[in-house]
Amino acid sequence: MAQLIDGNRVRDQILAELKPRVDALIARECRPGLAVVLVGQDPASQIYVRNKIKACKDLGIYSDAITPPATVTTDELLAIIADLNRRSEIDGILVQLPLPKQVDAKRILLSISPKKDVDGFHPCNVGNLVAGLPGPRACTPAGIIELLKRYEIPIAGRRAVVVGRSDIVGKPAAMLLLHEHATVTICHSKTPDLPAVCREADILVAAMGRPAMITGEYIKPGATVIDVGTTRVEDRAVVERLFSETPDRLAAFDKRGNVTLGDVHPGEVARVAGAYTPVPGGVGPLTIAMLMTNTVAAAERRAGLC
């Protein structure tokens, strides 16, 4: 049976390690500060933001939630970011995506000071990642590396395949794995014979946003599978097919009317892989933990501690 990689456990370890660092900053009157900008009333985004604010509160990080209306313009949002860039008590700025269609998301993200870009999306920080220079790393990819290291899964010299080439997950995950001396392949919708390429992987990272696409034929026996996908599924026929052997998941679906699925077939990964991250409870918890890590590191740079 494959080993389950518990993201909640690793998240708790990271947050526990951050607490004394936050306390030390507070003692120097340099309390870390995070501003979260949430446009509109999207329910899923509201949940994400609440979780981030709660994590700040638990650690002792100052947080400020800015909630402009869904009708906000690009110029109005740029003015909000400019003000946050000037505020000395704010070490990190996070703009919750997606933004409304009338807002130029690229202009907004580019307007965030690279020093306060705790998402690691700014081109300056992407360049630092490529060059192997210090700076904030994209949270989800950084969390993947933490999971592998804390479960003592070897990376150096291993073959890693990343399925998905997004700027937020796929590309930075591939670069971080490369910096850990893995041999890395990035796959996408145009990759011929995708299952065969995936079967070469000792470490397989699935980040396409296509529920249960990665089946047993994609997985090398004994490989480590990191499932980044999270898709809400409301079709009972799909859930019955995927969880025919796990009645508790079917019962949970019947109670809620939906279930969250990853990009990897949940039953087949447990049968073929050597270790894997579940959905939920795998990579997801690490995203907020690494956001807190980036915020604390930014405060430490402001305090001259690094």
> Exactly one of 52, 115, 171, 220 is catalytic; which is it?
52
Side chain identity, residue 161? V
> Exactly one of 91, 117, 119, 202 is catalytic; which is it?
119
263 is catalytic: no
96 is catalytic: yes
**Quick one: DSSP state of residue 217?**
G
How far is it, in rounded angstroms, from Cα 169 to Cα 229?
A: 10
> Exactly one of 96, 115, 202, 220 is catalytic; which is it?
96
How far is it, in rounded angstroms, from Cα 243 to Cα 250?
A: 7
Q: Are 145 and 180 in contact (CB under 8 A)?
A: yes
13 is catalytic: no
Strand partners, 37: 66, 95
- Angle 215-217-218 (CA atoms, 0-180°, nearest 5)? 75
Residue whose entry in the numeric block shows the structure tokens 């529920």 = 211
Residue whose entry in the numeric block shows the structure tokens 């870009």 = 117
Q: H or E stretch including 140?
A: helix 139-150
Supply the residues annotated as catalytic: 52, 96, 119
